[in-house]
Structure formats: structure tokens, C-alpha cells
Amino acid sequence: MIEMITRFYRQLFNLIDFTKLDLITFFIFACLSLFGLLAVATASLAFSDSISGYPLNFFTKQLFHFLLGLLIMFFVITIPMAFWEKIDRWLLSLGLFSLLLVFVPGIGTEVNGANRWIRISGFSLQPSEIMKFIIIIYTSGYCVRRLRDIQSHWFAFFKPSVLVIIVVSLILLQPDLGTSTVIFGTVLGILFVAGVQMRQFLLVIGIGFLGTLALIYFVPWRWERIISFMNPWEDPYGSGYQLTLSLMSFARGNWFGVGIGEGLMKMGYLPDAHTDFIFAVIVEEMGLVTGIVILSLLFGLCFRTFYLARQALSRNLHFCFFVGYGVAILIALHTFINIGVATGLLPTKGLTLPFISYGGTHVLVMCALVGLVLRLDYETKLAMPAVNISRRA
């Protein structure tokens, strides 16, 4: 089996000149991934030991997912962008089907009251994570096909809006407000750079905002999170528990941290220390300076992707342009929400920090997205220079 996989990838590598790949993007990705492995190793020690008796259990799994993600990334690099553009509607259908599978008894898996996973042959997958990849591909393909209509006709904007509402609704039923927000924002971002009329854009934003308020107000536990977010110290052992401990982690870490492995909050105090609140553990143990470095790398990756997307646009590679912007917007939203929650700027919701937090499907999808970015830049370098002016891009 290993020999077959090796032969397969050797043949794939012959299809592409890897010297033309963007080394800056890959370097940032590698640094973030290594930071993530270190952070997961130290943040999950106590929790991993308590449930498996092996302190490095989560680190071992994360390392496996990262290595598998590298294979997926290199596989994506070898696939022409035209292929993704051609199958975008099939991918969307497959994604919607997988979102429905989480509610099927025997296939969908419930963890902590949430139906977000499907189990196939012993492996667990999170369809909402895969949908992040799919929705970028589909929306980008749609914008290429209907670019002129999107800029002038209301119905062309209405169709993807309805589709994203369906996707978001299925994810909200799991329930997963954080992922829903990221997907909704990513689609709107791609449509915005495609040149959608401003009044239509603001209308959909308004509908999304009112819908979010309704979801929060009519669901008691979400409303409690809003109240505790405004003043977490009012109920530090109840609804404000996670946020107060997260803030205490930042206070303990100061500029340079208490030392790797020496953090206190991860020792059974701060819930989700290796996932949603991993940034708090990083700052506690490695200091605010390290936290700033990680944020700089994340937003550096976003800006680099924006730049590569603009380069693709200058060569009339519209699909590459939209995909690049979609990836950058998604990573930026993910980062902003995760850090906002950890620092008390936003109400508490479950959302991982890209490339850093523990998560199997999350790691695989992020690697695949980086593969898309590297591929679009590769095709840009092969294309003949051209000029294209976009209204907002």
C-alpha cells in the first residue's frame, strides 16, 4: 500500500514544476503548522492524559492529520483550477448531502450535544469544515459564469444568496453558529469583489444580522453567552467561566509567558484549551510576543493570498482571483472570531484558530486551501500577462 501511494505521488510530482511555487506562502504555512503542533502538544497534555492515559494522544493525532494534510495539499497543487471550476456544482451537491448525513442515525455522531460529525469506516469527518472548501469553489465558479449579471441583475445575486442560506441553515441545525458565520461572510465577500450592487449587498447583510439576532435571542444559552460576554466577572463560575479563565491566561502570560508546558489554565480549568481557546494557552505559556508573531503570520498569509489573487486577475484568471480572495477572507474571519472570543471582544462561540487548533478535518481542509493558493499562483506564473479591470478588485 505504501509503495503504491509513493508511486502515485511520484507520478503526480512529475506533472508540476515545484520551483515555481510561492515559497513565501509555503513558508508561512509551515511556520503556522509547526506552531500549531507545539501548541496542541502542550495545551492538550492534561485533557489527553485524563481520557486516554497518554498525554501526547492529541498531539499524535494532530501530527498524523498534518502529514495527511500535506499529501492532500500536494495533490491539490497538481490539479488544474479549471477542473475545480468544472465540477463546482457537483461539489456543492455532495457537500449538501454530507451536511444531511450528520442527522442520519448510525452515520451522524453526536458530541457534547452537537451533531457535526459523520463516521465512515472508523474515520470521523466534519462536513461543515469540508463545506468551507466547497463553498469557495462553488461561489467562485458562479461569479465567473454570471459576472456581468451579478453586477447588473438582482436575480443573479439572489441565487447564491439562497444557496448559502440553505447551507448555513443546515449547519445551524447541528448547531454551529461560528462556522455558519464564517461561511456566510466568505460568500458575501466573494460576491462583493465580483461587483454586486451595494443596495443588494447591504440588504443581505441586514437579513443575516437580523437572523443572527433572532437566533441569539430565542435560544436561551446563546442569550446567556451575550450577557456574560458583556460582563463575564458577574458570573465567573457560570456563564462567564470560559472567558474569565481565558482572560486570566492572558494576564498570567504577560509579554514572554510562564514557560512552555508550565501553564496552569490548561490543567483541567479552561475548557477547550486545545481547540477554541488554544490562543489563550499560547499567550500564557509563550507570552504576548509569541501571540503577536502568530497573528502576524496569519494575517501575513491573508495579505499574501490577496496579492496572489490580484496577480491572477491581471492575467484574466478570474476563477483563480475569486478563489484566492475567498481563501483569504475565510482565514481572516476565522482568525478574527477566534481571537475575538478568546480576548472577550466577541461572545463565546466554538471556532478554531486556523492551522493552530486541534482538529482532524479542520487541518485537512486548511491544507487543501493552501494547496489551492499555491496552484492558482502557479497557473498565474504560467499565463501570459493581460490586463483586466474589476470594479471593486
Give the tens place of pLDDT for each residue, 308-341: 999 999 888 999 999 999 999 999 999 999 999 8
**Between residues 150 and 283, the one the model is more confident about:** 283
The mean-pLDDT minimum among 125-139, 140-154, 194-208, 221-235 falls in 221-235
Look at residue 170 and tell me whether its pLDDT is greater than 80: yes
- pLDDT band of residue 154 (cuts 50, 70, 90) is confident
Q: Where are the domains of the chain?
A: 20-78+253-393, 90-218
pTM metric for this prediction: 0.89
What mean pLDDT comes out for the span 182-194?
A: 90
CA distance 335 to 292: 12
Look at residue 59 and tell me whether its pLDDT is greater than 60: yes
- pLDDT band of residue 384 (cuts 50, 70, 90) is low
**Between residues 262 and 66, the one the model is more confident about:** 66
- pLDDT band of residue 26 (cuts 50, 70, 90) is very high
- pLDDT at 7 (0 to 100): 67
Residue 250's nearest CA partner among 292, 280, 286 is 280
CA distance 146 to 210: 28
Look at residue 389 and tell me whether its pLDDT is greater than 50: no
Place of cell 504576548: 288
- pLDDT at 113 (0 to 100): 61
Which contiguous run of DSSP H or E holds residue 110? strand 108-111
Look at residue 261 and tell me whether its pLDDT is greater than 70: yes
Share of the chain above pLDDT 90, in %: 38
- pLDDT at 218 (0 to 100): 66
Q: Order the strands of the 123-125 sheet from edge to edge.
A: 108-111, 114-120, 123-125
For 222, 245, 275, the CA distances from 251, given in Å and listed in that order, are 27, 10, 20
**Between residues 232 and 93, the one the model is more confident about:** 93
Mean pLDDT score across all residues of the chain: 83
**Between residues 353 and 243, the one the model is more confident about:** 353
- pLDDT band of residue 391 (cuts 50, 70, 90) is very low
What mean pLDDT comes out for the span 285-292?
A: 92
By the 8 A CB rule, do 132 and 329 touch? no
DSSP state of 116: E
Residue 343 has phi, psi (to 5 degrees) of: -100, 0
Look at residue 383 and tell me whether its pLDDT is greater than 80: no
220 burial class (0-12, 13-18, 19+ CB within 10 angstroms)? exposed
Look at residue 390 and tell me whether its pLDDT is greater than 60: no
